[in-house]
């Protein structure tokens, strides 16, 4: 398993975790969750039609970053 695949799994798991966590701590409301799900589904099923399915991992990572900013109101410090 290559590092890109590991990064993809991390982004994938983080997306679903952040959706549930944001809902649980009342930072994400149903309309916001719906928008993120529609964006995720659009990328998942739309990018292959554009022959750009390799960008799915990057797209999900960007959604993860947006969720972190919305839920935590700032970037998460690494140190």
Cα 9 to its chain centre, rounded Å, is 11
CA distances from 34 to 6, 12, 39, 78 (A): 27, 17, 9, 29
Residue pointed to by tokens 């919305």: 70
**Residue 54: pLDDT band by 50, 70, 90 thresholds?**
confident
| pLDDT score at 32 | 94
Question: Average pLDDT of the chain?
Answer: 90
| pLDDT score at 5 | 87
| pLDDT score at 22 | 95
| pLDDT score at 31 | 94
What would the two tokens of residue 18 be? Answer: 């952040």
**Residue 28: pLDDT band by 50, 70, 90 thresholds?**
very high
Higher per-residue confidence, 77 vs 51 = 51
């Amino acid at each position: 398993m290559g590092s890109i695949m590991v990064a993809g799994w991390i982004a994938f798991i983080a997306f679903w975790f952040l959706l549930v966590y944001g809902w649980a701590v009342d930072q994400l409301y149903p309309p916001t969750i719906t928008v993120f799900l529609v964006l995720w589904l659009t990328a998942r099923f739309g990018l292959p039609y554009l022959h750009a399915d390799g960008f799915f991992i990057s797209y999900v990572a960007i959604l993860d970053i947006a969720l972190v900013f919305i839920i935590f109101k700032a970037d998460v410090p690494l140190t």
